Amino acid sequence: MKVAGNRRWLGIIGVLLSSVFCSLVANLLSNGFRRPGSAILVCVIIGIATGLVYVARELPPLFHRSTVVVKGWSTSRRAALVCTISDRPGASDELVPIILEQLQKRGPITCLGLVGTAETQAVATVRTIIERLGSVQGLQVKEVPCDPLNLKDAQLTTQSLIDWATISCSIPSRQVLVDVTGGTVIMTLGAYQAAQEAGVDVEYVATPRKAGQRADMEGRYPIIVSRGRSGIGQLQRRGAGGRK
């Protein structure tokens, strides 16, 4: 996607400028600053350019845009995953292990929060997910049921799982990902609102399908639909009286 591509190129340019800047400084030091005039000016220009590149690279997530859409499995380091889940066989019980497997390529996931319902508990969706995960070292799994047709309840349930990850498990909000693929539309909206308030990223896994054809399960791809603003939400919610 264009957004991810631009950030990648800005990162490459920043690294190149930093390398040139360090080389010039090293050259100045080795020459004992005998000709400081033009060399120092070049260093200042490159230093300012490098700073501007890194600022441009970090501005999008700093000034949160709810319309961000980035395709591709997350390249960010994650330590906690919170998912809304469905009771349909072959849905969340298959998808959640796939998401977790992809995220673990960047580092271990220590917390898995599942926003479920009475139905998911009845059909043992969580048990199936855990069985398909196998033996994941150090993974804590917690399910909290909600009313799938109550927006506020879905929001508070998701909020409680984000709090569990960020406060109880001491995971930084930037390392928490909320996936809103499973469950009802109301659950998705509630989870999205909770993630917005908490300042964490929101993901949706799309399943391509053509008219008259079955969904392409092998072609699933995630979309980051919203970037969180790091550092907000945690302090706001400590006294908010949300569900614990």
220 and 107 share a domain? yes
Query: What confidence tens digit (pLDDT) does each residue in 175-186 have?
Result: 999 999 999 999
When divided into structural domains, the chain yields a total of: 2
95 and 174 share a domain? yes
Report the predicted TM-score, pTM, of the whole model to 2 decimal places: 0.64
Domain presence at residue 243: no
Domain presence at residue 204: yes
- Among the three residues 62, 92, 114, which one is the final residue of a domain in this structure? 62
Alpha-helical runs (H) found in 63-124: 92-103, 118-122
9 and 102 share a domain? no
Q: State the average pLDDT for the chain.
A: 76
143 neighbors 123 (Cβ within 8 angstroms): no
Written as six digits, the tokens of 56 are: 């441009």
47 and 135 share a domain? no
In sequence order, what are the residues at sequence separation of 6 or more whose Cβ sits closer than 8 angstroms to the Cβ of residue 73?
A: 102, 103, 105, 221, 222
84 and 45 share a domain? no
Range with the lowest mean pLDDT among 19-23, 104-108, 110-114? 19-23
* pLDDT number for residue 57: 57
Find the CATH number of the domain harbouring 205. Answer: 3.40.50
203 and 90 share a domain? yes
216 and 111 share a domain? yes
Stronger pLDDT, 54 or 232, i.e. the higher one: 54
100 and 196 share a domain? yes
Residue 114 structural domain: 70-237
Stronger pLDDT, 47 or 9, i.e. the higher one: 47
117 and 18 share a domain? no
Phi, psi (degrees; rounded to nearest 5) at 87: -90, 0
Residue 20 CB burial class (10 angstroms; 0-12, 13-18, ≥19):
middle
> How far is residue 191's CA from residue 195's CA, in Å, rounded to a whole number?
6
Query: What confidence tens digit (pLDDT) does each residue in 40-68 have?
Result: 666 667 767 776 666 665 555 444 444 44
* pLDDT number for residue 53: 65
In sequence order, what are the residues at sequence separation of 6 or more whose Cβ sits closer than 8 angstroms to the Cβ of residue 117?
A: 87, 145, 146, 147, 148, 183, 187
Domain presence at residue 244: no
Span between the terminal Cα atoms of the chain, in Å: 38
